[in-house]
Chains A and B, each alone.
With several copies, the nearest count.
Chain A
């Protein structure tokens, strides 16, 4: 059971150009910073990325976009990212917009071995085009397929050498779902601990879903919208 890797370079060593990747995170919250840096360094390209967002110009998946490593983005919201916009408008980048809950549930379906699910989102909209509509109890649902991905890349708060993962706060978001959906799942963690240190009642992703794990370094954990209130 050799799941522990030295670092991101080793963990992503065999991701080929043209692969389909799931990348955890919501905005810049909970993104796999180390793996993204390693993918940028390695220069693999032609990637299809399933990720709720596409980062900002100079952080997150935005770094991969800068290097033109991404062929297609499957996202729910691509926000503020000038390079993304340029590539999309010029036709260099293919973009598929998926409702956020649909994105999450299609990941979950993959991890649970369910080939398709019925969801309400998008009924009557352009998202429904070409999709099967089915009525249950008087309500229309879209049939949505489980996502297929070669690698899932997530960042967790704590993990053990068996691959068990625990996330912190809203940095959880899509990451457990993607971790369960990857053919090969790579987890970078802030704290890698020996087996036995994590409470077995509190594991978010059991190690059976995680193939590679390493302790990440130099997390920036950038905040996208710093909103505060004054004391007193």
Chain B
């Protein structure tokens, strides 16, 4: 039951508006690019220095000088532009990127996010995650509602080292769509086949249910 990864991506893609500049993180967020609605023109930013990221190259056409922030080979689209890393994060910091979608290990009901470090495990670094969450003006988190042990990832307070404070605006999980509000997570939509009671049971943070809560359409 609940949404699969593609459906989570598809639901997030509904948040895209014509003219948006969008930064997509690694994992589920990357899939959002596959579901951009008809008639909606968005430009993808890759924080390693590209506006106008296109799809993966055809086999044999990979260019070592053309990768995304996940170090995958990519292509450009007409109208793309390259720039250095300072300008790339400069435009994020200045609020020019309309939407950032990223994954998370934990989200707190005040919008705190943890997604870079697990104590006791090898620390690989925060990459651009701290910059993105601190500076982006609109952040949607795409993640599973619970961890492999079945524990809620929507918490009253992050238990892992945090990446940024009070920055997440919206969370889309396999179970539902939530806004971050002063009252905590606000359930806007539930996945087909999932009950509000199940979501209540699996959400550790403060949860309120929108008056007009409805089923997700993807």
Q: Which residue of B lies closest to A195 (CB)?
A: B79
Is the beta-carbon distance between B94 and A112 smaller than 8 angstroms? yes
| Chain B residues whose CB sits within 8 angstroms of the CB of A14 once the complex forms | none
Contact bitstring B88-128, A, C-beta under 8 A = 1, else 0: 11111111110000000000000010000000001111111
A99 to B51, CA, bound (A): 20
Chain B 26-84 residues near chain A, CB threshold 8 A: 41, 43, 45-52, 55-74, 76, 78-84
> Nearest-CB distance from B209 to chain A (Å)?
29
A105 close to chain B: CB less than 8 A:
yes
- Enumerate B115-150 residues with CB–CB distance to A below 8 Å: 122-131, 134-135
Contact B64 A223 (CB under 8 A): yes
We find that the number of chain B residues with CB closer than 8 angstroms to chain A is: 72
4 closest Cβ pairs, A-B complex: A113-B93, A101-B89, A196-B78, A195-B79
* Contact of B81 with A169 in the complex, beta carbons under 8 Å: no
Q: A76–B125 contact, CB under 8 A?
A: yes
- State whether B65 touches A29 (Cβ < 8 A): yes
Asked if A104 is an interface residue, CB under 8 A from chain B, the answer is yes
Q: Which of A42-50, A64-72, A77-85 makes up part of the contact surface?
A: A77-85
Q: Give chain A residues whose Cβ lies under 8 Å from the Cβ of B122.
A: 85, 88-89
| B62: chain A residues within 8 A (beta carbon) | 223, 226, 228
Greatest chain B CB density within 10 A among A104, A195, A209 is at A104
B135 near A121 with CB under 8 A, answer: yes
Say yes or no for A231: interface residue by CB 8 A criterion. Answer: yes
Query: Would you call A203 and B57 a contact (CB within 8 A)?
Result: no
What's the least CB distance linking B60 to chain A, in Å? 8
Given A207-B79, A223-B64, also A112-B124 (CB < 8 A): no
A176 contacts the other chain (Cβ, under 8 Å)? yes
Q: Which of B21, B57, B128 contacts A99 (CB 8 A)?
A: B128
Kindly count the residue-residue contacts between A and B in the assembled complex, taking CB atoms under 8 Å apart.
244
Complex contact A206–B86 (CB within 8 A): no
Q: Check B83 against A225 for contact (C-beta < 8 Å).
A: no
Tell me which of A97, A104, A224 contacts B86 (CB under 8 A): A104
Question: In the complex the two chains form, is A228's CB within 8 Å of B57's CB?
Answer: yes
Is there contact, CB below 8 Å, between B128 and A100? yes
Q: Which chain A residues border B82 with CB–CB below 8 Å?
A: 167, 169-170, 172, 200-201, 203
Tell me the minimal C-beta distance from B169 to chain A in angstroms.
16
Does residue A120 face the partner (Cβ distance < 8 Å to B)? yes
Given contact pairs A121-B131, A172-B83, A228-B57, A29 touches B71 in the complex (Cβ within 8 A): yes
What is the 8 Å Cβ interface bit string for chain B, positions 1-35, against chain A (1 contact, 0 not)?
00000000000000000110100000000000000
Which residue in B47, B70, B123 is a CB contact (below 8 Å) of A100?
B47
The answer for the CA separation of A77 and B41 in the assembled complex, in Å, is: 32
Assembled-state Cα–Cα distance A195/B123 (Å): 42
| In the bound complex, CA of A78 to CA of B124 (Å) | 5
Tell me if B21 and A208 are in contact (CB < 8 A): yes
Residue numbers of A with Cβ under 8 A of B are 1-2, 26-30, 52, 75-79, 85, 88-89, 95, 97, 99-105, 107-108, 110-114, 119-127, 157, 160-162, 164, 167-177, 180, 194-196, 200-201, 203-204, 206-209, 221-231
| A227: chain B residues within 8 A (beta carbon) | 56, 72-74
Task: Flag whether B87 is at the interface (Cβ < 8 A).
Answer: yes
B125 near A77 (CB under 8 angstroms)?
yes
Known: A100-B126, A100-B131, A223-B62. 11 other contacts (CB 8 A): A28-B64, A85-B122, A101-B89, A104-B89, A111-B91, A112-B93, A196-B79, A207-B51, A209-B91, A225-B72, A231-B59
Which stretch in B160-168, B178-186, B187-195, B196-204 binds the other chain? B160-168
Can you name 5 A-B residue pairings with CB atoms under 8 Å?
Answer: A104-B86, A180-B91, A195-B78, A200-B80, A231-B58
Bound-state Cα–Cα, A196 to B21, Å: 18
What separation, in Å, do the CA atoms of A221 and B64 have in the docked complex? 6
Pairwise interchain contact A225-B56, C-beta atoms closer than 8 A: no
Q: Any chain A CB within 8 A of the CB of B159?
A: no
Q: In whole Å, how far is A112's beta carbon from the nearest beta carbon of chain B?
A: 3
- Residues of chain A within 8 A of B47, CB atoms compared: 100-101
Contact A174 B72 (CB under 8 A): no
Bound form: Cα–Cα A15–B125 in Å: 28
